Amino acid sequence: MASGSATPPPTSTGSTKLDALKQNTEAVAQPKKLSGVALYSRFAFAGAVCCSLTHGGMTPVDVVKTRIQLDPLTYNNGMIGGFRKVIAKDGAGALLTGAGATFAGYFLQGAFKFGGYEFFKQQSISLFGYETAANNRTAVYLASSACAEFFADIALCPLEATRIRLVSEPTYASGLVSGMSKMASQEGLGAFYAGFGPILFKQVPYTMTKFVVYEKVAEYAYANFFDKATTSNGMNTVINLGSGLIAGFAAAIVSQPADTMLSKINKSKGMPGEGTTSRLIKIAKELGLRGSYSGIGARLFMVGTLTAGQFAIYGDIKRAIGAVGGVEIAK
């Protein structure tokens, strides 16, 4: 055979019907890449579902964690002891207090968080170029997650304030709608954002840590143990679970002090004339470093579990609804 470039395979089978079948098969095997609203709305939907399901499912743990933070003298026997005391005092139904606010709040937050993260990551790539973004991907992850979380917290804050009030005062209202109505009528709309500073202080570092650690662990796994192009869907889900679990532990430790302060400031309304900043300073002094980590055991379990679940569900939903697109900058 003469040397030279190889002859490319024929593009036609010689049959119009077979050619059409071949093209359809290739189209199914390689889903069409999306962009713009079609892509980011899918990212937002996947994020909304994964956050609402995981946070909503962890409501009982969140109730116990919040009780420990608000009343550490009473709930001083750890997470299991806390469960027992809540049930003994208020009944098993108390473990679902604030479930409606949790599902609704984190549905909105998840849409902004995950959809926003993908959006701002793409904007960074468009602004600086792919190569620069890839070489500085940790900074891109940090900036994108921080921007996304800021907008997510605007949506979350009123619902989180209501949830904490319902948990701290079980007789305050019968549910989300009545709780929000009561807070608005008695304390004004500003009450919903009394904890906006603490929630930013908590959620922004939490989300930055969560996404960076997840991205780094997943990148390490694919670079050293798996071929991303050939890894099965099931193994991708396992990798997402493991990376998310490690990311959740790291994020919980970083954000725990602000989480405790958020619970405290939303427990009750401030004194007449007392501003949010002065309340935060007062709470920080009362807590100290040790007090700010009250309930860390319950929160490590809760955040580690839900973060692992979030990334696993997020990846599966994206794949199921054809959210194919965007730009990966991991090496």
Is residue 57 helix, strand or coil?
helix
Does 47 fall in a domain? Answer: yes
Does 29 fall in a domain? Answer: no
CB 308 within 8 A of CB 241: yes
Does 313 fall in a domain? Answer: yes
Does 147 fall in a domain? Answer: yes
DSSP tag of 322: T
Does 13 fall in a domain? Answer: no
Question: Which tokens belong to 74?
Answer: 């009473």
Q: Average pLDDT for consecutive 10-residue bins of the chain (331 residues)?
A: 49 56 50 76 94 88 80 80 88 82 85 94 90 92 95 87 79 81 84 81 88 94 88 92 93 78 61 60 64 71 87 92 77 70
Which residue range is the domain that position 101 belongs to? Answer: 34-320
Tallying the residues shown for the chain, one arrives at: 331
CB 252 within 8 A of CB 296: yes
Beta partners for residue 163, in sequence order? none
Residue 223 has φ and ψ, to the nearest 5°, of: -75, -30
- At residue 271, the pLDDT reads 59
Does 92 fall in a domain? Answer: yes
- Tell me how far the alpha carbon of residue 266 is from its chain's centroid: 21
Contacts of residue 248, defined as CB under 8 A and 6 or more positions apart, other chains included, come to 210, 303, 304, 305, 306, 307, 308
- At residue 149, the pLDDT reads 94
Q: Per residue in 111-133, pLDDT tens?
A: 999 999 999 999 998 888 889 98
Does 27 fall in a domain? Answer: no
How many structural domains comprise the chain? 1
Burial per residue of 117-155, b for 16 or more beta-carbon CB atoms within 10 angstroms, e otherwise: bbbbbbebbeeeeeeebbeebeebbbbbbbbbbebbbbb
- At residue 289, the pLDDT reads 59
Does 11 fall in a domain? Answer: no
Residue 125: CATH number of its domain:
1.50.40.10
Between CA 52 and CA 35 the distance in angstroms is: 25
Question: Which tokens belong to 2?
Answer: 């003469």
* Radius of gyration (C-alpha) of the chain in whole angstroms: 24
CB 127 within 8 A of CB 170: no
- At residue 280, the pLDDT reads 62
Directed axis angle between helix 276-292 and helix 196-224, to 10°?
Answer: 50
- Tell me how far the alpha carbon of residue 66 is from its chain's centroid: 19
pTM over 0.75: no
Between CA 246 and CA 308 the distance in angstroms is: 8
Between CA 160 and CA 263 the distance in angstroms is: 9
